[in-house]
Structure 1
Amino acid sequence: MAESAVKEIPLNSVQVEALVVMKIVKACSATFPTTATGSLVGMDVNGTLQITNSFPFPTADVAASDSHPNDHMAASNLAAAAPRSKANVAYQNEMIKCLREVNVDANNVGWYTSANMGNFINTSLIENQYYYQKEMNERTVALVHDVSRSSQGALSLRAFRLSPNFMAAYKEGKFTTENMQKTKLTYKDVLIELPIIVHNSHLLTSFLHQLPAELPKEELEFPASLQELTANQPPIPLYPNLESLDLSIDPYLEKTCDQLLDSIETHYTELNNFQYFQRQLAREQTKVTAWKTKRAAENATRAAQKLAPLPEDEWERLFKLPTEPSRLEGMLNARQVEQYSRQVDGFTASITSKMFAVKSNLLPESS
């Protein structure tokens, strides 16, 4: 009863310990540009998924001396499929068993992966998350850490889950136009993003609040009660950040635009393939209609001659209608295009505002 009541509460946020964030950042940065994956452990408390520990999956090392670009690509593919491989499933169970012996949270709550320039929406992400989410303990998430974006100074860590509609469609494996129209499934319904809260212990929070302040020269007057401490909170000093005044265009903007154009070209390729299928289907259906008309005329003639009619379902054996290609790749690519578009919007927002601020200095004649 208690488990069913817990499952009825939907997940609304993900709380990640600061130590887990540091572990994920370190593991993803150490293997960059190869994809890094790992397991997450924690617990679900009233709709908030608390992630308290993590450990990486073992991957095959690529020799730096005789490495080839294809070697890193193959290593990335192996690492992307690591969460659902049999060897890593056994490794994960053994690690969770060891964590349970030392009285640490030992409930698997998902997995994490690294990304480069926001390029993470692919079949590997879907297959891994479906593998975790289809089990009995389906309250799992996928954490995505963008190494390139985080290198600019702002942590990029996002949590995703597969939507229930997409889970049902992926279980059936029918991503046809008819089924998608029936279920009203679009590229926006593939992933659900959950807000992330980075949690620190109270001792660490107190240390961080005192770190930027100067050492007191006089004896401190400690508050008499918690209410007094809450009422008179110490001011937090501001950090001067001169890099935010830089007028240079973001170096990642050009790369993101190139990847956006590549995704749009992939979309047109998928569209051309589907149009080719429609032409092939129309051509075959025209042949089937002509054959049925001819067979109906032959049966009418045979009926006038009082002969047995010929079967009218032989067209299924004579003609083979083309199979409709899966629309899953097109959906994921459309979702990736949306991801790149949001990144471009985020890059250009700050640059445009700074350009307008110094417009009179850049273009004196326009003022």
Structure 2
Amino acid sequence: MAATITTITPPNVSYIQMDSLVIMKIVKHVDSELYAGMSEVAGEACQGLLTGLVSVEKDDSRLEITNCFPTARAEPILESDENAAQANQMYEELKQQEMLDMLRKFRNMNIDYELVGFYQAHPFGACFSQDLVDSMYDYQSNGPDGVVIIYDPVKTRQGQLCLRAYRLSVPALELCAKNDWSPDAVKAANLTYQTMFEELPIVIKSSHLVNVMMAELSLAPTRIADRFSTHLELGSRRSLEKSVRAMMANIDELNKSISAYGKYVNDKQKHDNMIYNLTQKRPINDAMLTENNCYSYDVLQGPEDQSDDVE
């Protein structure tokens, strides 16, 4: 995680404007890797970096994403490998070098080269994890308007383009800066799963020729027989199987989290009961200690000293 920041700068943009070129490059990159099995072998999501600029005007503040490029793919490394640490370090250096080279080429070609976020591909949109929070904190620490674009390849294969833009909320950034994710800290910050991320609307920008073509297609006469043709129906068996498998894995993780939370609640309740019992016993112990001190003073004084006191 990046170094903690003292002040949290609120974001300025209210929506995302993406070029159609960026969407086509993301779809092509994901199709070439995800359905080839490279993501499963590498053990990480298919991802890349986004470039663009922030346009803040009087009544219009938006983040324009004009280009993107994929990140370097790491080769699978066994955990028992002796050179695993060295290989991971080499991969990080290679990844950083390729990113700098690509940004330098963008600058030479007069293309927007400012990093504004990154994109990831997650089937069914199952993207929320601690790694995503850490990455978003790094980007938003350098620039408050950094976002992540989540692309759902399964839903897109079913005929509906699925792109979602997220960013961390200000309370989540403050917790990341403190690096304290204890239940008490999360409750004190009034942070829930609904307020941790902020979703931004996405507007797709197309060229004028594409807009004219879409207008001609919408005005063209359609055939009812072709509209309800069976060959246009997309099969859902493969996506249904993936959905069930992902649900089973998420249910297992949910059961583990529930068990861990139940153990935490029980331990906290025992600790609170112990503090309450000690608090209730303290006045009794103080009274007994005072009585014992008075008795010890009488014993040490003796009967002769007591008779002298009487005389």
Q: Which stretch shifts more, 236-245 or 166-175? A: 236-245
The C-alpha deviation readout for 1:210-264, integer Å capped at 9, x for no partner, is: 6x6xxxxxxxxxxxxxxxxxxxxx9345474435985986653454245335434
1:50 aligns with 2:60: no
- Call closer, same or farther: CA 1:287–1:206 in 2, change over 3 Å: closer
Task: Look up the match of 2:243.
Answer: 256
TM-score of the aligned structures, taking structure 1 as reference length:
0.60
Q: 1:282 Cα shift?
A: 2.8
TM-score of the aligned structures, taking structure 2 as reference length:
0.70
Task: Look up the match of 1:202.
Answer: 208
Q: Which of these residues, 10, 13, 31, is aligned with residue 12 of structure 2?
A: 10
Task: Look up the match of 1:121.
Answer: 128
Residue 126 of structure 1 aligns with an amino acid whose one-letter code is: V
Q: 1:143 Cα shift?
A: 0.9
Task: Look up the match of 2:265.
Answer: 278
Residue 235 of structure 1 aligns with an amino acid whose one-letter code is: L
Quick check: 2:165–2:201 contact (8 Å CA) kept in 1?
yes
- Aligned partners of 2:175 and 2:74: how far apart in 1? 34
Q: 1:57 Cα shift?
A: 0.6
1:181 aligns with 2:187: yes
- Call closer, same or farther: CA 1:203–1:246 in 2, change over 3 Å: closer
Q: CA RMSD in A?
A: 3.4
Task: Look up the match of 2:102.
Answer: 95
Q: 1:297 Cα shift?
A: 4.4
Task: Look up the match of 1:141.
Answer: 147
Residue 14 of structure 1 aligns with an amino acid whose one-letter code is: I
Greater radius of gyration (CA): 2
Task: Look up the match of 1:22.
Answer: 24
* 1:1-367 alignment runs, 5 A limit: 10-32=12-34, 33=37, 34=39, 35-46=45-56, 47-61=61-75, 87-135=94-142, 137-206=143-212, 235-238=219-222, 240-241=226-227, 242-243=229-230, 246=233, 251-253=238-240, 255-290=242-277, 297-304=284-291, 305=293
- Aligned partners of 2:94 and 2:287: how far apart in 1? 66
- Aligned partners of 1:292 and 1:190: how far apart in 2? 38
Secondary structure, aligned partner of 1:138 = coil
Quick check: 2:151–2:164 contact (8 Å CA) kept in 1?
yes
The C-alpha deviation readout for 1:37-62, integer Å capped at 9, x for no partner, is: 11111111232211111111111245
The C-alpha deviation readout for 1:161-189, integer Å capped at 9, x for no partner, is: 11222222222233334333333211111
| Alignment length (residue pairs) | 261
Q: Which stretch shifts more, 44-53 or 92-101? A: 92-101
- Unaligned runs of 5+ residues in structure 2 are 1-8, 40-44, 79-83, 296-311
- Aligned partners of 1:156 and 1:259: how far apart in 2? 18
Q: 1:208 Cα shift?
A: 5.6
- Aligned partners of 1:154 and 1:187: how far apart in 2? 26
- Unaligned runs of 5+ residues in structure 1 are 1-6, 69-73, 213-233, 308-367
The C-alpha deviation readout for 1:136-155, integer Å capped at 9, x for no partner, is: x2211111111222122222
Secondary structure, aligned partner of 2:125 = coil
Residue 256 of structure 1 aligns with an amino acid whose one-letter code is: S
- Aligned partners of 1:140 and 1:248: how far apart in 2? 37
Secondary structure, aligned partner of 2:175 = helix
- Aligned partners of 2:236 and 2:108: how far apart in 1? 52
Residue 52 of structure 2 aligns with an amino acid whose one-letter code is: G
Q: 1:18 Cα shift?
A: 1.3
- Call closer, same or farther: CA 1:194–1:56 in 2, change over 3 Å: same
Task: Look up the match of 1:354.
Answer: none
Task: Look up the match of 1:4.
Answer: none
Q: 1:117 Cα shift?
A: 2.7
Q: Which stretch shifts more, 89-98 or 116-125? A: 89-98
The C-alpha deviation readout for 1:104-126, integer Å capped at 9, x for no partner, is: 11111110111123222222222
Secondary structure, aligned partner of 2:258 = helix
- Call closer, same or farther: CA 1:154–1:286 in 2, change over 3 Å: closer
Q: 1:24 Cα shift?
A: 0.8
Q: Which stretch shifts more, 281-290 or 27-36? A: 281-290
